[in-house]
Each structure stands twice: as structure tokens, then as C-alpha cells.
Structure 1
Amino acid sequence: MTSSAEQRTPQRTLIRNGWIVPMTGAAPRRADLLIEDDRITRIAAGIDDADAAVIPADDCIVLPGFIDTHRHLWQSTLRHLACDWTLPEYFTTLRNVFGPRFTPDDIYIGTLLGALEALDAGVTTVVDFSHNLSTPDDADAALAAHVEAGTRGLLAYGGSNDQARVRDDSRHTRDAERLHDRVPTGHRDRVSIAMALRGPEFSLLDATIDDWRLARELGMPITVHVGGGLRGAGGTIHVLDENSLLGEDVLFVHCNMLSDDELRRIAETGGRVSTSPEVEANMGHGPPVVRRLREHRIPAGISVDVCTNVGGDLFAPMRAALALQRGHDHAEALARGEALGTVTLGVRDVLEMTTVDAARACWQHDRIGTLAPGKLADIVLLRADRLNVLPGNDPVAATVSACDVSNVDTVLVGGRVVKRDGCLLGVDFDRLRELANASRDRLQGASAGNRAASTRVRV
């Protein structure tokens, strides 16, 4: 007897006549793209499928959904407050002033707001380094937001606010195991749990070793901040290496101050990296690291990091990566009395770092990151008939050098349309606004005077 599941007709969607940028190494071309349920099944010109729902894409660039390999979604209701803060000011103010005020409700709405902002910008996957989880209720709130938002999320269970304020030997909570079991069955293909560990720059070595052991006992991937600012110049990777903690299950964040030898060891042990060039330049993490990551062939993604300091799309970080790395390399050449004959980083390089390379960095390369039959249908359509793209000479260059959120017309996650005609679908914006405003007011203080004071805290 045939089961009802086997009898069900697949849901079919046809993206028709788009400017397909597959990120597989193949050149962009005009073609149709057929989706059955959550998977891409065919890419070719002139696909004829009368049963498919059609998305016209004549005026669109069709790309894999963008992947953000490092973002602190819980901070989204405090957006813009850190625009003029250095890295030390950020650490002190976010943790000492705002961190203790967060309740599960604040974690929930911050995470939800940030995840929806990402989707609106064509970011279909986010590695959420959630490091203000002081209670299991906080963790449950973050998970609820990921489930509701519809993003493909790797929720990385971080430490408490108290742990973030001191470098001590306290251990990571084992509650990540419970949270993993609480991911609803119908969402486990989309939402998974990782461990966001403090590492040797933010905890004592014995704690770091025990935290790594816990993550590996639970079979959870690890993400950790290293090489950011002065504290990142102390040979962190060598310390991890000496204690057999390097490996392909680790996603290192920032890495600006790491030596070439440290990057070599990350590469040799299969590690991955996320770099946040816009935030790193603004806050003082160190010199740009993109070119060195690519020279060492480390799977690396570009990320937003904190929306308290920058915007929530990946278009700006891509452009920042280009400008900062090229500027750095030009300056080094000029200091030698030379002029570079060609750029050291190309537009395709940074687009790879938000798609195919980012997928490798967050252990998802067999599922997402390219447009190819068998891959999950995480897809973004960018309007190419807008003034910032017309007349459309090069879809890769246009995406990186010119596009912004206003170009994001349609977004699909696992074949499900979550944004269409420039509008997010199924989002109660009145409720979202009400919850975000209430959280902001409570976190910053009930009165306008308190709010103004808290936004300009100085160390």
C-alpha cells in the first residue's frame, strides 16, 4: 500500500528566465530554475512545467541566498547605539550597562527582529552567536525566535552576561544539550544548535579545555572569537594547538591579529573563519584579513557581527571587505615605492565569501551556497532593472558594488517564499514594532532622559 506521504504531489515553483549566478564556477546565464518542495531539481532554458507556480525573473539576478557566518542577533533592539564606540567601549557598555537588563522577552524580540532584518536583505542563513544566555529561559526565547522567523539558523549557544564580564574559569553550561532536544521536529532541517565558546582570550585555559570537551562530547560544532584587538595578538591559535583543540569543527571569528603561522595551522587542521570587515575596521579589531584567509585557502565567510554598530545587510560588508583590503594592499605597495598592477581582491571573491565559501565555513556546503540540482532552494532575486544596476553589464559586479536591500525582490528558504515583490510575507509588523519599542524603552530606561544618557555611555 502506498502511504499518503508517497501519494502527495510535490510543490513545484519555477523561477523563469532569470539571470542565474550559480556560484558553482559556471558563468552566469539566462535560464529557468525549477524547485520541487525544498530542493532545486533543474536549471535550464525553456523549462515547461504547467503545474509549477511561476516567479517571473526577466529583470532579476538570481543567486544563492546570502549566508552570514557571525551575528549577535540578540542585540538588534539596541541597533545604532555603538556606532561611535571603540572595541573596549563596546565590551564595557554592552555588558556592564545593557547586558544585565536583558530578560527572555528582550532576547526573543532582539533575535526575531534581527533574523527578519536578515531575511529582508536576502540573508537566508545566519550563524547566531548568542552570548547573553544567562538562564535556560533566555535560550528558549532565542530558539523560539529562530523557529518563528523562518531563517535557516545555526543558533550557537553562548555564555551568560556574567561570564562575558570577566575572564575566569567558569565552565560553559550543559544546557545546550537540552536546547538541541527542544528544536521542534518540523524545524530541525532549518534550525540547529552549536556552541559559542569564550575560548582562551575570554576564559582561563582549564575552562577552555573543558568547554571544548563538552562540545565534542555533545557532537556540536564550535564557534569562538579569536584575534580581535590587542588581546588577540597573544598566540591564541598556538595555545589551542598545544592542547589539541584545533579542528574542522571550529569556526574562528575575526582573526585580524593572528600571525600567518597561526592561519597556516587553522588551514592545516581544517578550521573555518568568519570575518566582519566593516565592524572590525570601525571598532579596532586589527588590519583586514580577507586576502590572507584566501591565500591560506581557509573556508571563510563575511559577516555583519553587531547591528549596534553597522547595518544588517551583507552588501555593505562586501564593499567594506573590498575597499579595506585593497586600500591596505595599495598602501603597503606605495610604502615600498611601488604601484600595484592589479587589485588583490575581486568582486567574485567577496561574493563567494557570502555564498559558497560561507556555506563551507558553517558546515553547510553540501546543502546550500550554490544553485545546483539537489541543493536546498535558498534563493534570492535581486532587481536588475533599478537605477543602481541598469543597464546590467555584469551581475556579479552589480551585486557586490551597487546593490542594496532595495534590490531584494524575492527570497526563498527551502523553497518557501518568505519575501515577494519587495515585501516580507506573514510578518505582523505592528506586533513586531510594539515589542521592539517596548524592549528598547525598558533596556534604555523608561524616561527619555535616561534613554539619552544610556546611549552615550563612555568608559
Structure 2
Amino acid sequence: MTVDSGFVRHPGSTDAPRGPRTLLRGAAVVTLDNELGDFEQADILIDGDTISMVAPKLEVHDARVVDATDMIAIPGFVDTHRHTWQSAMRHGYAEMNPLQYFADVLQGIGAAYTPEDVHIGTLLGAASALNAGTTTLVDWSHIQNSPEHSDAAISALVESGIRAVFAHGWPLTTDDRWTKDSALPHPTDIERLNKQYFAGDNPLLTLAMAARGPEMTLPTVWRADLELARALGIRTSVHVGAYPHNAVHHAVDQYGRAGLLGADMTFVHCCGCTDAELAMIAAAGASVSLGVHCEMNSQGIGDIPLDRLLSIGLRPSLSGDTETKCTGDMFTQMRLLYAYYRSWRGGGHSTVSTPPDLMLRDVLEFATIEGARAAGLDHCVGTITPGKQADLVLIRATDVNLAPVLDPVAAVVLSAHEGNVDSVLVAGDFVKANGHPVRLDHHAVIRKAKISQKRVLGHPVNR
């Protein structure tokens, strides 16, 4: 990426253009806006935090110009479910029985987390998400051990510069009082947080509830929790149908029979949900989040229900889930999902009589506009559309694993990776430029994460 109009980048500099107007010049633009269409080569004009115009060869004389020739411009990815606080414990549970993850991480280790551990884990996860082109992150934060833990998580999200939906969960303890037939209501601290952090004018922060739902609580509790979320005017995200011991609760059916299903709900995983339950989700206008890599890597969780979703018109969003046993970047989720579906369908495993076709563009939409819809943010992100926020990713089309690019969508979904991401913008600000972070010192973040990792796991970092 090179920048004109008075902006000089010295060798090795990671500075990015700043100012009220920025013109991205000459990129191959995948807008994902069905009315606007895509462009083999076009310019994107950004006014402040907003996309102003998208067209070939814009004549603009009062903007800083970024030469985006040989770049693929796409909307920023939207991750709809990541336990970001766990990032310092990366990859430690991939080979273990998934039930050991629940016992170790969500009880013993999680219960011992300090606010400082939450802050650095969340900051590390958000930093790596941005580096890989994820500009909006639903931080599914079930580590609300104290109000200070919540404050620490929110502080890290703000520090990172990511567009964040903070999904407020529950405390982690060494027993199962919060997660097995629990009579404990959702922590009321969510009301304080709503007033303190989310009632202002920060467009990058949104509040949601990470709910326990019928699989974990008594009916009086999950009903009251959902009513609390709706009273606060926030969305609700809940795990359902992951592993047989959860699927037997038929959580979606319970919500449906109670008349509480709504478009403000996102259901995560849904592997063990019945066809009738998926139909209920679709009828309610609710959304589904698939954590593809973790679902494929978690033995016993159940089959990814993509064929059943698509057959009833339910288009899912994607998530990085937990980096304790998978990778969080959206390139991996897209690539694995496409390959999984092709193999699943081609091998005759589907229970759907005629499984729908899955196109590469569909998968890219799952990672962008469908994620924006699931986060309740499709009015402002998810496509490169004038009037929406300038959350954008520039991918180098000249890199040897992509060039020569025949189809930008195919290149992004099938072959692109984090290393191809040249620049990332959130609300018009560069958080990554010329392949380097602009806002954060990644080395400093990693040093702190190593200290946290050693403390929470109770052994040397390099075991």
C-alpha cells in the first residue's frame, strides 16, 4: 500500500493516512452489495468513518490517496462468537477430550482468572482478530467473576480499536452452580455496564447478553434472563445443541413453546438441534453462528448442520469460538466450511433429500454481511456500501499464493490467509497498514500474554 497527497511513508514505517477524507485508489472491490455489484477496479472514498462513494476513477482533490492497485478490497469480517478472554491459553486443548476443556478451563482455570488476565487475553484475541481482517467481534465473555473482570474486558476491546459487541456472561466458579439447573439469575451488573459504557456515543461498542439458556438454568431463570436482555434493548446469544448431553434439553423448542423466540437471538452451534427447531429459528428471524474449526475439532459435538440450515433458507454466520482448541481467523472458518460441505454433500451423508448448492460467494457472505445481521449491525457494516461504516480489508493480490487472481472471491475464500492482509480499517481508521499493526504494539501484548499464561496455567510458558 502506498499513499500520496502529502503522506510520505519512510522505509519500515507502519504509519497510516489520517484525516477527514481518504481515497482508496484502484482496488478490485468485492462490495457484497447486490445492488452496487463488484468492480474489477474501483476507488473507495471515505469521509471520516463512513464510506462515501464507490466507483471507477473518482475525481477527488481533497483526500489523502492510498494506492490500492493490486489489492482486493472486501468488507471487514464479522466474528459472531469468540471467547476472547481465553486467547493466552491458545491451542492447549486441541488433543484433549472436549469435556476436559469444560472441567479445566470453565471451572478451575477460569475461576482463578484475575481482571488483568481477562484484559490481556481479550486484548491479544482482539489484536489477532484485527490482524487477520476481523473488524467486528462478538466477544462472548463468560468470565464475569467480578465487576472488575467485566471492566477489564471492555477496556481491552476499546484499547484494541476493534468494533465490539460485548456479550456479557456469568461468573466462572469451581462448581456448577451457574451452569447446571441453575437457579441463579443473570448477574445484574449488566445493568451497570449498560449505563456506564453503552449509553454513550461510542459507535464501536455494543452490549449483548451471553445467556445460559434452557440447557443450563431453570425455566424461571432463562425466561427472566431473556426478558432482562429485552428490557435493556440488547441482543441475546446462547449455545444450543452442542454435544448430546445439551441437545436432549431441546432448548430452541423450549424457547418456542414459551413464545419467546425472536429476531434478536443468535443460536451458537445447533449441531444437535432437530429439523423442527431449526425451522423455528428461521421462522422467528433469529440467526445461527457456526464455529467451524472448533466444531470439526471437538469430538462428539455433533455434525455441522449447514445442509439443514441452507435447505430452509437459514444462512449462518461464522465464529472463531475458542482458541484453546482451534484458530480464530475467518479465512480458516470459510475454507473449512466450504470443504466440509462439499465433502459432506458429495459423500452422501446429508439427511436433506436435495442439499442446496453452496457457492464461494455464499461463504464470504457468511463471514461478513450474515455476521453483521447476526450482530444486529447490518445497517452499518458487512458490505462496502456508501453510507455504511468504513470497515474494510485490503488483501495483496500479488502474493504468490494468490496471483494471478482469476476470481477475487475464490481467491479470498480458497487461498487467502492472514499474511496476505495488507491493511485493515475500522470506522475509517487504519488499525493495520502495510502489513503491520498501527494501533497496538504486538510484541508488548505478547510479552504480557506470556506472563498471564504462565500464571493461569501454573507452569512455565515453554513446557
Give the TM-score, by structure 2 length.
Answer: 0.90
The answer as to 2:193 corresponding to 1:179 is yes
Aligned to 2:91: 80
The offset of 1:184, in angstroms, is: 7.3
Does the 8 Å CA contact 1:326/1:343 hold for their aligned counterparts? no
Residue of structure 1 aligned with 2:227, choices 204, 207, 213: 213
The offset of 1:430, in angstroms, is: 4.0
Aligned to 2:158: 147
- Which amino acid letter does the alignment assign opposite residue 395 of structure 1? P
Distance 2:380 2:144 in 1: 29
The answer as to 2:138 corresponding to 1:127 is yes
Residue of structure 2 aligned with 1:381, choices 386, 394, 403: 394
Distance 1:267 1:245 in 2: 14
Aligned to 2:310: 294
Unpaired runs of at least 5, structure 2: 1-17
Identical-pair percentage: 38
Aligned to 1:18: 27
Provide the secondary structure at the position in 1 that maps to 2:239: strand
Distance 2:201 2:332 in 1: 30
The answer as to 2:288 corresponding to 1:245 is no
Distance 2:100 2:39 in 1: 44
The offset of 1:192, in angstroms, is: 1.2
Does the 8 Å CA contact 2:316/2:370 hold for their aligned counterparts? yes
Does the 8 Å CA contact 1:289/1:325 hold for their aligned counterparts? no
Distance 1:335 1:66 in 2: 31
Residue of structure 1 aligned with 2:244, choices 206, 222, 230: 230
Give the TM-score, by structure 1 length.
Answer: 0.91
Does the 8 Å CA contact 2:127/2:442 hold for their aligned counterparts? no
Does the 8 Å CA contact 2:124/2:446 hold for their aligned counterparts? no
The offset of 1:218, in angstroms, is: 1.5
The answer as to 2:275 corresponding to 1:260 is yes
Aligned to 1:282: 297
Distance 1:408 1:125 in 2: 16
Seen in structure 2, the aligned counterparts of structure 1 residues 258 and 301 have a Cα distance that, compared at 3 Å, is: same
Aligned to 2:332: 316
- Which amino acid letter does the alignment assign opposite residue 251 of structure 1? T
Provide the secondary structure at the position in 2 that maps to 1:332: coil
The offset of 1:133, in angstroms, is: 0.8
Seen in structure 2, the aligned counterparts of structure 1 residues 306 and 333 have a Cα distance that, compared at 3 Å, is: closer
Provide the secondary structure at the position in 1 that maps to 2:348: helix
Q: How does 1:320-331 map to 2 (within 5 A)?
A: 320-331=336-347
Distance 2:103 2:351 in 1: 36
Seen in structure 2, the aligned counterparts of structure 1 residues 345 and 445 have a Cα distance that, compared at 3 Å, is: same
- Which amino acid letter does the alignment assign opposite residue 164 of structure 2? G
Greater CA drift, 409-418 or 84-93: 84-93
Seen in structure 2, the aligned counterparts of structure 1 residues 422 and 263 have a Cα distance that, compared at 3 Å, is: same
Cα displacement string for residues 353-399 of structure 1 (whole angstroms, at most 9, x for unaligned residues) = 01111111111111110011101100000010001111110000000
The offset of 1:435, in angstroms, is: 1.5
The offset of 1:92, in angstroms, is: 1.3
Give RMSD over aligned pairs: 2.2
Aligned to 1:106: 117
Aligned to 1:456: none
Aligned to 1:92: 103
The offset of 1:413, in angstroms, is: 0.3
The offset of 1:185, in angstroms, is: 7.5
The offset of 1:130, in angstroms, is: 0.1
Higher helix share goes to which structure? Answer: 1
Distance 1:60 1:297 in 2: 33
The answer as to 2:203 corresponding to 1:192 is no
Does the 8 Å CA contact 2:25/2:69 hold for their aligned counterparts? yes
Does the 8 Å CA contact 1:124/1:378 hold for their aligned counterparts? yes
Residue of structure 2 aligned with 1:419, choices 422, 432, 449: 432
Provide the secondary structure at the position in 2 that maps to 1:391: coil
Does the 8 Å CA contact 1:271/1:298 hold for their aligned counterparts? no
Provide the secondary structure at the position in 2 that maps to 1:113: helix
Distance 2:81 2:87 in 1: 14
Aligned to 1:434: 447
